[in-house]
Amino acid sequence: MLDYEIKNLKEQYKTVTGVDEAGRGAWAGPVVVAAVTLPVDFQDKRINDSKKLTHKKRKELFEYIKKVAIDYKIVVVGQDYDSKYNPKQISKEGMKEAINNLEKLGGIVITDYEKIDLENINQINLVKGDGIAISVGAASILAKYFRDSLMEEYSFKHPEYKWDQNKGYGTKSHQEALLKFGVTELHRKHSNNIAWSNFARSSFWGFSINFYFIIL
């Protein structure tokens, strides 16, 4: 069970906000960031690092977390990066955007390792935080399930890249498809010299994705 908050923060804070991202290392598709505010004593043994859960379980917990959270925000970062940005910087800016758009911010913010430039907001940066703190684990589930669902939708347009399976990451099948078919508008120009055009496409969620867009 992820119990960092209840063991270490219960005496100081009533609420906590966890932040995490998905897709930073992918070759195609957006980076998705989620921020989730929970009671500091919230516990649920089903919540874990999203990478350790099945897609079916993530879907179930995605809906559950949205219901039990005090507040949450999901940010899709779909910028056509230029050379002054890298995926780490982009994900940190997305985290900042998600936190700043919460209506109910926790008494303290916990991130999965990354230190965010926040004014007058206490934060803890935990190595492998999504496997230690339940608020970060919850954020990781929202971010990963949302991003995976987007990539499955984009796979209908570009089935040859098998994004429904590899979610845009640099698998052998993805590399082979790039060599055979070239790049798409969803490929990132910072990844292995891949060049892509402006990324702004509508999804089944009903939104157009640009640099920052608060989705939920």
Tens digits of residue pLDDT in 133-183: 999 999 999 999 999 999 999 999 999 999 999 999 999 999 999 999 998
Q: Does any domain span residue 179?
A: no
pTM over 0.85: yes
Query: Which domain covers residue 101, as residue numbers?
Result: 4-149+196-214
Enumerate residues 6+ apart whose C-beta is below 8 A from 57.
Answer: 46
State yes or no: 21 annotated in a binding site: yes
**Per the structure, how many domains does the chain have?**
1
Higher pLDDT, 17 or 204: 17
Three-class secondary structure of residue 33 per DSSP: strand
Is 112 among the annotated ligand-binding positions?
A: yes
pLDDT at 201 over 50: no
Q: How many helices (H) and strands (E) does the chain have?
A: 6, 6
Is 144 part of a structural domain of the chain?
A: yes
Q: Kindly give the pairing relationship between strand 31-39 and strand 123-126.
A: unpaired
- Least confident span in 18-22, 191-195, 204-208: 204-208
Q: Is residue 186 part of a domain?
A: no
Determine, yes or no, domain membership for 139.
yes
Answer whether residue 168 is part of any domain.
no
Does 20 count as an annotated binding residue?
yes
Return the CATH number at 60. 3.30.420.10
Domain assignment present for residue 25? The answer is yes
The answer to whether position 209 is within a domain reads: yes
Residue 210 in any domain: the answer is yes
For 109-118, b/e burial (b = at least 16 CB within 10 A) is: bbbbebebee
Which of 80-84, 122-126, 184-188 has the weakest average pLDDT?
80-84
